[in-house]
């Protein structure tokens, strides 16, 4: 696969080398395109809500780079003979509402007949080339801040099994439909060194990619990590998504955990949909970010720090 990306282009600011959230391509000295796409399968029964979650999830990659999303195209996969046309309209209406909230112009899209419903967006954003926030540029001494709690993958599994309480589902959907726009704005104002959004690889996976990309180690305080209500009970019932186990199998050799049980770590491996931002900021900038977040109503919790490289990418204690 690496040969696909070996065509040099001096305007490519961010490519696939460090698993960043989006590609960035310069079109002038003061403007670059941020380009990404994301597609998901239904997490909830309500088609409008599903469309809103999918759109927020796709837009998040642009925010994670510090960009401003401006246009999007619908990507719809559907078994046409099995899904009512009204359900498809509701999915796209939910996506359109979230795009309007983000100030994004829907410019078109594409549909494909498939055996399973899938929906997402191809998104283009704008950014100044000198303001790009990458996932691989954390620095020793940085403080780590997370802007949404964890648990959407486990709760989604509970939804599919019809074993998640209504209040738990409602709270998870509120987080999944919440745009990362405000957190991204505060991140830029606070001169963040690095950022990623927490999605399919879970907190451990995305934090590991950040640490490895920077050649550093992240120290995570387990007791500081926010987890959504109801997650522990769903874990006790065995409602754990397959993606969580795949994340654990892949990333466990790269981390060191101190005094943590397997259940303690499960939410950290949980694949998130439309998760929060994980941001690395210098000491004083982190203080400023947390203050601005508190003043503006943006959820933000400090969960660790960045230290010189050790034998593992993450130390969880």
Verify that 54 and 101 share a domain, yes or no: yes
| End residue of a domain, out of 89, 107, 130 | 130
What CATH number is associated with residue 103? 3.30.1330.10
The torsion of the CA quartet 81, 87, 90, 92, rounded to 10 degrees, works out to: -30
Query: Given strand 301-308, what is the order of strands in its sheet?
Result: 194-197, 277-281, 143-146, 301-308, 216-220, 314-316, 255-257
Residue where a domain stops, chosen among 112, 130, 148: 130
Domain final residue pick, 108, 130, 152:
130
Work out how many domains the chain is built from and give that number: 2
Are residue 86 and residue 171 in the same domain, yes or no? no
- Residues 203 and 228: beta-carbon distance below 8 Å: no
Residues 46 and 145 in one domain: no
pLDDT-based confidence at residue 82 (cuts at 50, 70, 90): confident
Alpha helices in the chain (DSSP H): 47-64, 85-102, 152-160, 166-176, 181-189, 202-214, 231-236, 242-251, 262-269, 283-296
Same domain, 282 and 300: yes
Reported as a single tens digit per residue, the pLDDT across 138-190 is 999 999 999 999 999 999 999 999 999 999 999 999 999 999 999 999 999 99
Claim to verify: residue 169 and residue 294 sit in the same structural domain: yes
- The domain spanning residue 173 has which CATH number? 3.90.650.10
State the residue range of the domain holding 94.
Answer: 2-130
The pLDDT of residue 239? 96
Mean pLDDT score of the chain: 95
Which of 151, 125, 119 is CA-nearest to residue 54? 119
Instruction: Kindly report, residue by residue over 100-146, the tens digit of the pLDDT.
Output: 999 999 999 999 999 999 999 999 999 999 999 999 999 999 999 99
């Amino acid at each position: 696969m690496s040969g696909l990306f070996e065509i040099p282009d001096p305007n490519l600011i961010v490519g696939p080398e460090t698993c960043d959230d989006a590609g960035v391509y310069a079109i002038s000295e003061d403007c670059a395109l941020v380009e990404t796409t994301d597609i998901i399968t239904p997490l909830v029964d309500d088609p409008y809500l599903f469309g809103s979650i999918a759109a927020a999830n796709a837009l998040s990659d642009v925010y994670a780079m510090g960009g401003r999303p401006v246009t999007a195209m619908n990507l719809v996969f559907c078994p046409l003979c099995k899904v009512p046309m009204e359900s498809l309209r509701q999915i796209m209406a939910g996506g359109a509402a979230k795009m309007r909230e983000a100030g994004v112009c829907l410019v078109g899209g594409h549909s494909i007949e498939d055996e399973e419903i899938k929906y997402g967006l191809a998104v283009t954003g704008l950014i100044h080339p000198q303001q790009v926030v990458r996932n691989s540029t954390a620095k020793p001494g940085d403080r780590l801040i997370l802007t949404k709690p964890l648990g959407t993958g486990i709760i989604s599994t509970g939804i599919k099994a019809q074993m998640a309480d209504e209040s738990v589902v409602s709270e998870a959907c509120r987080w999944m439909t919440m745009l990362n726009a405000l957190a991204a704005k505060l991140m830029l104002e606070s001169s963040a060194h690095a950022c990623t959004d927490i999605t399919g690889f879970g907190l451990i996976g995305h934090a590991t990619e950040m640490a490895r990309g920077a050649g550093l180690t992240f120290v995570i305080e387990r007791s500081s990590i926010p987890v959504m209500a109801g997650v522990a009970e769903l874990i006790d019932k065995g409602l754990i998504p397959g993606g969580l186990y795949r994340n654990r199998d892949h990333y466990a050799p790269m981390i060191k955990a101190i005094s943590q049980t397997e259940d303690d770590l499960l939410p950290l491996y949980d694949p998130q949909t439309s998760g929060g931002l994980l941001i690395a900021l210098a000491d004083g900038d982190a203080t400023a970010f947390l203050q601005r977040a508190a003043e503006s109503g943006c959820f933000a919790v400090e969960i660790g720090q960045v230290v010189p490289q050790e034998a593992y990418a993450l130390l969880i204690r």
